[in-house]
Structure 1
Amino acid sequence: MEGAGGEASLDVQGAAAAAAPSLFGHKPNSAKPVSALLEEAAQLKTEGNAFYKDKNIRSAIGRYHRALLLLRSIDSDVTTSVKGFGPETPVLTPEQEALLRNTQVDCYNNLAACLLQRKTVDYTRVQEYSLRVLKWRPGNAKALYRAGVATLEMGDAETAKEYLIQASKEQPNGKDPDHHDLSEQVDVIVI
């Protein structure tokens, strides 16, 4: 599980780790081809998944953040707003664009799951990550469920109910990502 140091801003630590990749055996990505960046991000996601499975939430969060930071450098949604201030973003093939989005969706979904496992949950961040997933995949049951949980904890029961109802429609077995019955959760909100 999480090591000594407790709940101290893991998001900031993950971002710092990604900002200083040479400290972790990764070279700065400015000269890397797109395919290498996509491959490295996918590998970091896979490592994060393994850490999550082993209940090493802190390390999983770090890997997912590092993967997302690598992907930011080639994501046209991010770089178009700063066009002209840095190197041109390479044009991605449809396959590369699909891999980029799929990896981002998985990492944001997994980050939200990790944050929900912490002792002190940052529901605002869980909601933010879930909404990013929903921007790209509007019917993603995991993101809908996690957005619903976060929104409910933040005090907006009506919107939470909408997310959870939609999640129950999208989830084929009627269970949330943690295998709870979604219809029971929606009923609790209604009461």
Structure 2
Amino acid sequence: MEKRLQEAQLYKEKGNQCYREGKYRDAVSGYHRALLQLRGLDPSLPSPIPNLGPQGLALTPEQENLLHTTQTDCYNNLADANVRRYLQRTQLELSSYHRKEKQLYLGMFG
């Protein structure tokens, strides 16, 4: 359990680094991987498949706090990275559209 919490932190940090570099797709991937590491560790959520796997994982208050903080950070960062990724792609498409429009205009009247 401690190992999964640590791995989630590492993936989150990789996502943060990619985000700072403007690599939003890679950032999204890092946040998703972090959340996958945390999946099933939250004792406040019911198990999707009852009576399968370990029951009632015991987390210390520190571990539970780290779990919830990491989840919250990842979900927030994931939303932001997805929006920035969308804006980045939209900007590229608009630039391409304007170049084509200019070429068409110059071809007609140039």
TM-score, length basis structure 2 = 0.71
Judge which range, 43-52 or 74-83, deviates more. Answer: 74-83
Shift of 1:81: 4.6
Does structure 2 conserve the Cα–Cα contact (< 8 Å) formed by 1:42 and 1:103? Answer: yes
Question: Could you list the runs of 5+ residues in structure 2 that have no partner in the other structure?
Answer: 88-110
After TM superposition, the structure 1 = structure 2 runs for residues 1-191 of structure 1, keeping only pairs within 5 Å, are 34-119=1-86
Identity of aligned residues (%): 44
Shift of 1:90: 1.7
CA offsets per residue over residues 18-75 of structure 1, 9 Å max, x none? xxxxxxxxxxxxxxxx111111101110110000000101111011001001101211
More helix by percentage: 2
Shift of 1:109: 0.4
Q: Distance in 2 between matches of 1:106 and 1:39?
A: 15
Shift of 1:106: 0.4
Code of the residue aligned with 1:54 in structure 2: it is: E
Shift of 1:79: 4.3
Code of the residue aligned with 2:52 in structure 1: it is: F
For the pair shown, which has the larger CA radius of gyration, 1 or 2? 2
Q: What's the Cα RMSD here?
A: 1.6
Query: 3-state SS of the aligned residue for 2:41?
Result: coil
Q: 1:96 to 1:89 in 2, by over 3 A?
A: same
Does structure 2 conserve the Cα–Cα contact (< 8 Å) formed by 1:57 and 1:117? Answer: yes
Q: Distance in 2 between matches of 1:90 and 1:116?
A: 35
* Residue number in structure 2 paired with 1:167: none
Question: Could you list the runs of 5+ residues in structure 1 that have no partner in the other structure?
Answer: 1-33, 121-191
Does structure 2 conserve the Cα–Cα contact (< 8 Å) formed by 1:73 and 1:89? Answer: no
Q: Which runs of 4+ in 1 moved over 2 A?
A: 77-83, 85-89
